[in-house]
Structure 1
Amino acid sequence: MKFVDEVTITVQAGAGGNGCVSFRREKFIPFGGPDGGDGGHGGDVVLVADSGLNTLADFRRHRRFRAPNGAPGQGSNCSGRSGESIYVPVPVGTVVHELDTGEVLGDLVGPEDKLLVARGGIGGKGNTHFKSSVNRAPRKSTPGTPGEFRNLRLELRVLADVGLLGLPNAGKSTLLASVTAARPKIGAYPFTTLHPNLGVVELDEGRTFVIADIPGLIEGAAEGHGLGTRFLRHLQRTRLLLQVVDATPGEGQPSPEQGARDILHELEAYSAELAAWPRWLVINKIDNLPPGAGEEIGQRVAAAIDYRGPVFCVSAATGQGTDALVRAAGDYLDAQARREAAATDAG
């Protein structure tokens, strides 16, 4: 199925049914009085997070969602039937924006999370409600109110603990395949990865975490070059970024130092918040280098981007150094989770 991470849809809640004007008509009861029932309420439109979905592709075919209207009231004080609400499944991690105002209506981050996006109209009142001591035969009722109508933009952000970013052909997909059971497309040409791929890392202690690989960035991505920064939104849910640098770039490719600077520049152009995200430097393809050369390249790259964090030298193709990388990432995520839990308890 094609990966789609942004769509626009329209939702229309049901209108409330009109109230009824009716009078009791029975033999031997000449002044039966009003008995008009209320109209039923209109149905709501509700989005529901479904863990079985991983793309918004279904919305390319079905973009309009309308809940049924409430039925009008009837005589004998019979209320109209309310319209049933409709529940629209969306992938976990969907952010819902109102298209006309840009307002964020909600974020469905957990399975079975629900978000009411269009409220049904209220049913009108029948003439029974308007009976009084001075008006015993009211011929007044109220109409049902219309249901809410909204234009929505759905934006999918994948849920992952660790995100991989780097230039095309830096080896991100190979690294993902090396440390997880994921099998992304791998090729010796730019932009092999056309959409985010996810994989689960399983550590010996039974711990797991999820890695996301996004398409490679190039210089000028913030201005739309290459695949642009369209997929960087998926990194905004991660807790740690791994900046993968090719230690042996091919002819015509930027040096490791320049490539790292290009990535940092595109991050800053996209979001200052994402540029300040916890980020580790990973020097890849050291199997093509003599011993110790990877560490030297790592030092030069760190100096070029003013980086003071840990540097990992790995070969995604052979697996060299990847075990230490994923174990360190797992320890970092566990420590971060403990800090967050402690902060929550203290609050």
Structure 2
Amino acid sequence: MHHFIDEVILELSSGAGGAGCVSFRREKYVPKGGPDGGDGGKGGDVVFVVRRNLKTLRHLKKNPVLKAQNGFPGEGALRHGKDGESIEIPVPPGTQIKDAETGELLQDLTEEGTSWVFLTGGRGGKGNAHFKSARNQAPRFAQKGEPGKTARVKVELNIIADIGFVGFPNAGKSSLLKVLTNARPEVAPYPFTTKTPYLGVLTVGEEDIVLADIPGILEGASAGVGLGIKFLRHISRTKGLAFLIDLSNPDFLGHFDILLKEVGEFSPELARRKRVLIGTKIDLLESLRPLEELQRKYPDEQVVGISSLTQKGLDALVQIFLRLAKEEE
């Protein structure tokens, strides 16, 4: 996903209602037929629909101004005008619709198949047949249709996952995602390989666990350094966090404190989420002493060591992920 789009500003308009018709019945042998103007059709609605197959908002970036069809005017012989076609805006699960000016959350769309009518079309105007009365047998007026509604909204995507990966660049997040799931993130031995979020599904028996890999976080990320802080919201819905610590890095003992601080600056609630500390790349170590040092420094944390290359420790990690994903909050 080289063009990952997770924010779009849209200008949306529902359709106006069609005008009512002014018409009189004109048939042979009926020289003074009564009013028979039909009603105008209703304007089309603006509807958001959740589609599971969508992963980004890229399709909306190309056309940020969308308008539903106007209703058609009524016709003689009491013929009702055709309703305007509604416009459906497909979005991925986890999409939030906000007021573009105030930032107010208008709707949180999380469930596949959910349909939400955001703007309703204007009602069609009544034809002159409605206005016949004892005092006015031949009304020569009809209603106009109601105007449509227009609004500017900010559409934001917050990916929905069970476990979110947090770590410095090159900590082994993408390698772990690749070996555990069907995801195919770019993996290379240099920092910032991951520039967009990736999702993968880990299947354990009958259970599916969705894992999210976001770009690596740097110290100072909450102040705008690096890429990771921009994508932290994509793990804001996760049930648990996996902090990946590269045990082959000489400064590994300070990494967890920095990462937790940056996550806490972004969201104190996210920093309190259930978590596991994963010491990675144990295949590069001469001994397991770095893992033991990490475990001693954080006796109250769940700390495990793994190698994505040799797959050592992965079975135990999978069971931890399963518990994190399924535990009650």
* TM-score higher than 0.5: yes
1:295/1:313 contact within 8 Å kept: no
Q: Which amino acid in 2 is paired with 1:281?
A: L
Q: For the residues of structure 2 that align with 1:141 and 1:299, how far apart are their CA atoms?
A: 82
- The superposition leaves residues 92-139 of structure 1 with CA deviations (integer Å, 9 ceiling, x where unpaired) of 222222213322222222222212222111101112222222222222
Give the counterpart of 1:316 among 300, 308, 317.
308
Q: Which amino acid in 2 is paired with 1:121?
A: G
User: 1:237 aligns to what SS in structure 2?
Assistant: coil
Question: Are residues 1:209 and 2:209 paired?
Answer: yes
Q: For the residues of structure 2 that align with 1:181 and 1:69, how far apart are their CA atoms?
A: 45
2:277/2:302 contact within 8 Å kept: yes
- The superposition leaves residues 214-250 of structure 1 with CA deviations (integer Å, 9 ceiling, x where unpaired) of 1011111112111151111110121111011122215
User: 1:152 aligns to what SS in structure 2?
Assistant: strand
2:215/2:228 contact within 8 Å kept: no
State the partner residue of 1:344. Answer: none
1:298/1:313 contact within 8 Å kept: no
User: 2:27 aligns to what SS in structure 1?
Assistant: coil
Q: For the residues of structure 2 that align with 1:95 and 1:62, how far apart are their CA atoms?
A: 18
Question: Are residues 1:143 and 2:153 paired?
Answer: no
Identity over aligned residues, as a percent?
A: 45
State the partner residue of 2:83. Answer: 82
How many residue pairs get aligned? The number is 327
Question: After the TM superposition, which parts of structure 1 deviate over 4 Å for at least 4 consecutive aligned residues?
Answer: none
2:274/2:324 contact within 8 Å kept: no
Give RMSD over aligned pairs.
Answer: 1.9
State the partner residue of 1:243. Answer: 243
The residue correspondences of 1:57-206 to structure 2 (distance < 5 A) are 57-203=58-204, 205-206=205-206
Quote how far apart the aligned CAs of 1:332 are: 3.5
User: 1:217 aligns to what SS in structure 2?
Assistant: coil
2:22/2:128 contact within 8 Å kept: yes
State the partner residue of 1:270. Answer: 266
Q: Which amino acid in 1 is paired with 2:53?
A: G
Distance change in 2, residues 1:117/1:273 (3 Å): same
- The superposition leaves residues 120-175 of structure 1 with CA deviations (integer Å, 9 ceiling, x where unpaired) of 11101112222222222222321111112121222122221111001111111122
User: 1:229 aligns to what SS in structure 2?
Assistant: helix
Q: Which amino acid in 1 is paired with 2:117?
A: L
- The superposition leaves residues 241-261 of structure 1 with CA deviations (integer Å, 9 ceiling, x where unpaired) of 1011122215xxxx2232212
Structure 2 alignment gaps of length 5 or more: none
User: 1:46 aligns to what SS in structure 2?
Assistant: strand
State the partner residue of 1:291. Answer: 288
Q: For the residues of structure 2 that align with 1:293 and 1:274, how far apart are their CA atoms?
A: 27
Quote how far apart the aligned CAs of 1:36 are: 1.4
Question: If the length of structure 2 is used for normalisation, what is the TM-score?
Answer: 0.93
